[in-house]
Amino acid sequence: MKKIISFIIVAISFALFSCATADGAALVTGTQRSATNPAVVVIYTKAPENYEVIGIVTASSDSGWTEQDDLNYALAELKKQAAKIGANGVILESVSTSNSGGIVSYGVYIPITAKNVSGKAVYVEK
**Per-residue model confidence (pLDDT) at position 1:** 57
**Per-residue model confidence (pLDDT) at position 106:** 86
The structure's pTM equals 0.77
**Per-residue model confidence (pLDDT) at position 109:** 83
**Residue 116 β-bridge partners:** 60, 96
**Per-residue model confidence (pLDDT) at position 7:** 42
Task: Give average pLDDT by consecutive 10-residue segment, the chain, 126 residues.
Answer: 50 46 91 96 96 97 87 96 98 90 81 90 94
Cβ atoms of 63 and 89 closer than 8 Å? no
71 CB burial (10 A radius; 0-12, 13-18, 19+): middle
**Pairwise CA distance, residues 83 & 60, whole Å:** 16
Cβ atoms of 29 and 53 closer than 8 Å? yes
